Structure 1
């Protein structure tokens, strides 16, 4: 495996795990609840309207609020790291390919 791909996987996995809770807070899923006038509040209002007044357990809004309040569960952290690693690996592979192609063209 290309070293840039390995680096991409590691950086992608680590960054995804670190940035996921920050992203949840930024859109309004906080430890104190859903922030007023946030994206999360809009999602909650839509979910409540769709289910005739309540947010269903297990729905996207409920799961994101749980993660925002209590943090990511171990299994969720593994999934987030896996997706981040896959994206990072793809980026690393693309950078390696572009670097090799550019070097070949310049010779």
Structure 2
């Protein structure tokens, strides 16, 4: 893949990750109304509560994911998602095409 193709793959990965992150959070059960019952998020919350003696630690993974699911991604989280998506796009540019 040439330089232009690599740049396109990086850009598509970055943009795709930013747009798909909220979809993935909702699918995992982290919604604006709270953690959806029976979801992966609910299982994570239960495990975190058991590990922490009955409560979910502020700033922990479950709390951060629920915050992002309820309020959307912060600027830093959007940048992180774009960075990860761009890295995945760059790696995907090395996959040979037939």
TM-score (norm 1): 0.86
CA distance in 1, matches of 2:5, 2:32: 37
- 1:69 matched residue in structure 2: 70
8 Å CA contact 1:14–1:84 kept in 2: the answer is: yes
2:80 alignment partner, SS class: helix
1:54 alignment partner, SS class: coil
| Offset, 1:74 | 0.4
Consecutive unaligned residues in structure 1, runs of 5 or more: 103-107
Consecutive unaligned residues in structure 2, runs of 5 or more: none
CA-atom RMSD in angstroms: 1.2
Q: 1 or 2, which has the higher helix percentage?
A: 1
- 1:8 matched residue in structure 2: 9
Larger radius of gyration: 1
1:37 alignment partner, SS class: coil
2:54 alignment partner, SS class: coil
| Offset, 1:88 | 0.3
CA distance in 1, matches of 2:16, 2:77: 15
| Offset, 1:89 | 1.3
Deviation beyond 4 Å, 4+ runs, structure 1:
none
What is the total number of aligned residue pairs between the two structures? 97
TM-score (norm 2): 0.94
* 1:84 and 2:85 aligned: yes
- The aligned runs of 1:49-64 (5 Å cut-off) are 49-64=50-65
